Amino acid sequence: MHANSLTDLSCRDWLASPPAPCIIRPPLRPENASPLGGRLTHNPARHLLRALSLFSGVLLATACAGQTPIFAAPEAAWPPVVAAPEAAPIIIEPEPRLLPPLESEVLADPQVLYPEPANPTFWEDFQTVDDRLWADARNFYDRRTLLALTAGVAAHAILANTDLDESIRREYQERQRGAGTDEISEFFHSNKSFGEGAFALPIYGAALGTRYLCPESGVADVSSEWGERSLRTFAVGVPPVLLLQYAIGASRPGETDHTSQWRPFEDSNGVSGHAFMGAIPFITAAKMTDRPLLKGGFYTLSILPGFSRFNDDDHYLSQVALGWWIAYLSASAVDDSFGLPPNMELVAGPVADGEGVNLVWQW
């Protein structure tokens, strides 16, 4: 076939995206040929081949341009897209976890955050006795307690160094004392465990020991705490009681002519020891409860041992009142330090929002 009779077609690959346009150049003809072929009548086959080549070039150009060929079959319509029905959600339940709990779960347990303290042994408690007693002494001899004690001694001085003590004594003994008051006095007077240390201290010690005999018993814990508080109250309060008994030097009713007036170091009855000792167990119990009725009942009972001494005309009112007051201040000092480590104490002072309580740690 002659090169001048073929269609010169150049096109990019059909697979290119997007398809590039094709370049179709017309066939070359001789310079002496007519536009209509000139020799159609002399060579019909040649002109037929030229027409077929031109027609195939047109088809090729339309295909390269992305157009539908003239004789292409109509494109079949795609079937409509139907959405699939929504499937029900699949719920997968987790299997029981066999791993240890997470750290956050452990910390959320109050038993982990605030574990119950282990019951100490007798030897462990004995090793810290001096620290606890020192903490009680610091609380008793702080400014607040000393001011309260000074106020009690001042009230004692007013009653003892005037006629008030003797007038109150005569009024009660002559007009108020009766069979009912004597029965109350007899109960506390005959029961020496409420006023004499030789009987009271072993009871406190036995109560303290129940913690070591029955470490898992709640009743033993309460009994042991009561015994320990009572012993510590006695240890804190007995020094000022002995000192004031001799420093005041007052006498019992009927012993001397100067009645309850102060005579320093001439006698040893300025403070009622029975009123002090008899009040300790009841004031201690009152400090251990938050129930108003129980607290009020214990405080009332704490007055009765001293009242029995006044009823029996063994002490003046000033001596009984000062003994009870020292017992109260001593029990309050123990209550302030009880439950805290020996080197810690609560002190009033400024906080972020104003006045409050600060925890002081000494080392």
pLDDT (tens place) for every residue of the chain, 363 residues total: 444 444 444 444 444 445 545 455 555 555 555 544 444 445 666 666 666 666 666 555 555 555 444 444 555 555 565 555 666 666 666 665 555 555 554 444 455 444 555 566 766 666 677 788 888 899 999 999 999 999 999 999 999 999 899 999 999 888 888 777 777 777 766 655 566 777 888 999 898 888 888 777 778 888 888 999 999 999 999 999 999 999 999 988 888 777 888 999 988 889 999 999 999 999 999 999 989 999 999 999 999 898 888 888 889 999 999 999 999 999 999 999 875 554 555 666 666 666 666 666 565
The pLDDT score that the predictor gives to residue 196 is: 77
pLDDT for residue 363 = 54
How many CB atoms are closer than 10 A to CB 86?
A: 6
Could you check whether the bond before residue 305 is cis, i.e. omega within 30 degrees of 0? Answer: no
What's this model's pTM, rounded to 2 decimal places? 0.60
313-to-19, 171, 232, 272, 322 alpha-carbon distances in Å: 130, 12, 30, 12, 16
In sequence order, the 6+-apart residues with CB closer than 8 A to the CB of 196 are: 274, 277
Burial of residue 214 (number of CB atoms within 10 Å: 0-12, 13-18, 19+): middle
3-state secondary structure of 77: coil
> Would you state the pLDDT for residue 14?
44
Q: Where is 143: in which H helix or E strand?
A: helix 143-160
Q: At residue 43, what is the residue type?
A: N
Q: How far apart are CA 67 and CA 55, in angstroms?
A: 15
Helix (H) or strand (E) holding 305: helix 292-311
Rg (CA), the chain: 56
Return the sign of the alpha-carbon dihedral for residues 352, 356, 357, 360. Answer: positive
Residue 23 is given by DSSP the state E
Q: Which helix (H) or strand (E) holds 356?
A: strand 354-361
Position 82 scores a pLDDT of: 58
227/284 Cα distance (integer angstroms)? 9
Q: CA neighbours within 13 Å on the CB side: how many for 331? A: 25
Would you state the pLDDT for residue 74? 53
Which tokens in the block code for residue 311?
């009823």
Q: How open is the CA angle 23-24-30, to the nearest 5 degrees?
A: 140
Q: How far is CA 318 from CA 147, 169, 347, 363, in A?
A: 18, 10, 32, 42
3-state secondary structure of 330: helix
Looking at residue 185, its pLDDT comes to: 73
* Residues contacting 111, CB < 8 A, separation 6+: none
Structure tokens belonging to residue 56? 């195939």
- Give me the torsion for CA of 97, 99, 104, 106, rounded to 10°: 110
Residue 89 has a pLDDT of: 66
C-alpha distances out from residue 354 to 125, 144, 315, 350, Å: 37, 21, 47, 6
Residue 3: predicted pLDDT: 45
